[in-house]
Structure 1
Amino acid sequence: MTTLQGRDATALLVIDMQNGVASGLHQRDQVVATIDGLVTRARAQGTPVVWVRHQSDELPEGSETWQIIPDLVPAADEAVVDKRYGDSFEDTTLEDTLAARRVGRLVVTGAQTDACVRSTIHGGFARGYDVTLVSDAHSTEDLTQWGAPAPELVVSHTNLYWQFQGGPGRTAAVETAEEVDLTAH
């Protein structure tokens, strides 16, 4: 149902699963295993997998913290999009990458729920994409000492509110990794 004409493909988006981000994630190993399972399914079904990698003062390009975690390795033919802002579309090649693959639907995973994942699901939806958030394939770190809710509540709240997102001509959904369809719609 995307508003993007001629874009009937689905892509699996893996956001910021980097050494400097993933090390402190709530339920890290479970989330990584879930993402790995989705990547394996996407590859088997011919669904594009697009990796997003954040660059910042804390994650300088080329550093160990900037590298994608060794548990998840992009294939040679999979796009890796570098970004400097929370929204993976902002000042990046993501839109061109998705357009070249005729993608109009995003299946979103990664980190951090309350930052780059949230910014990207909203950014994609505002740009006309159908956006499915995989409820058990995103996470965040514990920021309670700065007044944030506990990470499990951040994940739960994001899953709750995203299922009620709406807009003309496009859809938002929340599905488990087991439920999500990675084929074109």
Structure 2
Amino acid sequence: MSLNLDFKEIATASMILFAIIDIIGNIPIIIGLKKKVGKIHSEKASIVAGCIMILFLFIGKEILNLIGIDVNSFAVAGAFILFFIALEMILGITLYKDEAPETASIVPLAFPLIAGAGTMTSLISLRAEYAVENIVVAIVINIIFVYAVLKSSGKIERILGKQGIGVIRKVFGVILLAIAVKLFTTNIQGLLN
């Protein structure tokens, strides 16, 4: 079995996943979660998110078909989740309330923040265009970057300060809202046809 590693495919898939995961834009959410739960396990969150993404890359479409959900429905559901997260960021409100979670490493950090519906939908779309091994390399590259950001979130917070984080939160909230709207409009057409 030979690997068909293609630098261009790896670079393109990495950039698409980087934009969808948007770990830089999620820094305010990560900092907020850290304040709520005290500690975020960067290694655990990164490994779980990476495993979810690789698993979904190989069996995602089959799982959705098995439970009778098409990719478009999954993407529209993901668009709603992103929409509400964006509203939280822009308006400074809390819609997601958890009964004092002990850790935020798996939920909501690894899933749905890092390996969410947008990421899953992108992986299914990428699989139709690129070699699987190139997508796996792109996932690994993104997970390494995610880990680095999670590990240094405290330093990033100190550098940016409270106002800087507030500004970034609102700006990326609007960007996330735009991604949610695009994900919704692109996939709602597929549902209606």
TM-score, normalization by structure 2:
0.29
Task: Choose between structure 1 and 2 for higher RCO, CA contacts under 8 A separated by at least 6 residues.
Answer: 2
Greater share of residues in helix: 2
Q: Which has the larger radius of gyration?
A: 2
